[in-house]
Amino acid sequence: MGNKKSKVVDMADEVNLKHFNLLNSVGRGSFGKVRIVEHKDSKKLYALKYINKVECIKMNALKNILRERNILEKLDHPFVCNMRFAFQDDYNMFMTLDLMLGGDLRFHLNRRRFSEHAVRFWISELVCSLRYLHKQSIVHRDIKPDNILLDQAGHAHLTDFNIAITYNDKPLWSRSGTYNYMAPEMFSSHGYSTTVDWWSLGVVFYEAIYGQRPFTFENAEKVSEAIQYAEIPFPTVSKTGPVTEECISALKGFLERDVTKRLGCGPDGFLRIQQHAFFQDIDWDKLEQKKCKAPFVPSQTQSNFDISYDLEELLLEQNPLEARPRKRIQKLKSSLGKDMGRIEREFKNFDYLLYERYPGYVDPLKMCVGDPPEWVKCVNPHPVKELRETKSLETISTNDETKVQSAGTRRRTMDV
């Protein structure tokens, strides 16, 4: 008693749950749960999203989860909740994301109304994130206040890429998203593209200004009909006071049913937003560097989350989250074995800290790293000059194998 030695965690091993201290639970979604974790080495806080494998398979959600993980690996933007780690154990798939302690926009819209100035700031930041995603040929398809998170300084970030999809210039057809935020073209016979995200942003914009969505029917059929055909009201007065002509004009621009005229759409979409009177005071370069002060700063002393999530985790969770040693895959196989095997193959580990751990090539020509762990491989050769100028982690996908361009030096251990 009292002399029991603490277990040692090798921080140079492949990332796993032992690398993190588990803190509060902060959310639950259709496909998983979220809790705050602390990386034991860096002491940084993250949001850990974890999805039970069996439940995921039973819900036919595996394709979405694998696609989300692969999309997130490609992203790194100031106004996106970026993925920093991905790993799995025998029971769960884990994605560790940037932590946003300011809560989601739904949390705040349910508690108070906001000025045009504050709303313009959020919408401008989200415009930047959408522009970035669309340049990566990614359609989010589920933009709503619940999927917009604020950091402690009040900056807005897109999250939840569970139904996001890569767009390859061919029309998309599946009706995906949250009904009240779906664009009219999702119900058409012509398909859709990145245009749907700008409409959804318009609905969020409208809700933030007026305190309600353009259409409030609970019946899905009536909502879809209204989205396609009903006239949208644009009152000149909201619950916080007068709504300016410039604001109404911008709202009408995003909620334009003709995608050729919709604000944000087309090759000059971002330029038209920049030139719009409502956004004329935005310094876009400064904004994207997070150098603009947010008009609204979330509480620094009170929780910006629903505390019932943490209570539920403590009292009702049948299998509380904990680090467990991995078993032989054969023992897990049953009627779900095929999909479990797919998870094992395709839900690959990701660790953005690899670049920091292995800085510098031993041989730039062979792209080898110094004393690498076994999962770090050589990558395809590129001109040496370009390599020496590389400042951040890059991933190169070849034949479905993700190979990490990074290098490093030291082995680290941490006590549990």
Cβ neighbours around 378 below 10 Å, total: 14
| Number of helical (H) and strand (E) elements in the chain, helices listed first | 14, 18
Q: Which two tokens mark 411?
A: 């082995």
49 in a known ligand binding site: yes
CA–CA dist 160, 243 (Å, integer): 31
Distance CA 119, CA 10 (A): 45
Candidates 104, 131, 88, 116; CA nearest to 26 is 104
Phi, psi of 274 (to 5 degrees): -60, -40
Indicate which residue of 98, 142, 151, 351 is catalytic.
142
Catalytic residue at 415? no
Torsional sign, CA 351, 332, 164, 97: negative
**Cα–Cα distance measured from residue 281 to residue 9, given in angstroms and rounded to the nearest whole number:** 51
- What is the 3-state secondary structure of 153-169? CCCEEECCCCCCEECCC
CA distance 117 to 235: 18
114, 120, 201, 288, 309 from 127: Cα distances, Å: 19, 10, 8, 10, 31
Within a 13 Å sphere around the CA of 25, how many CA atoms are in the beta-carbon half?
Answer: 19
Q: Are 226 and 179 in contact (CB under 8 A)?
A: no
Query: Residue 144 has which token pair?
Result: 């709503």
DSSP states along 99-146: --TT-BHHHHHTT----HHHHHHHHHHHHHHHHHHHHTTEE----SGG
- Per this entry, what is the length of the chain? 416
CA distance 21 to 12: 17
| C-alpha–C-alpha distance, residues 77 and 75, integer Å | 6
Q: Look at strands 401-405 and 83-88 and give their pairing.
A: unpaired
Residues with a catalytic annotation lie at: 142
Residue set of the binding site: 49
Which residues are annotated as part of the binding site for ATP? 49
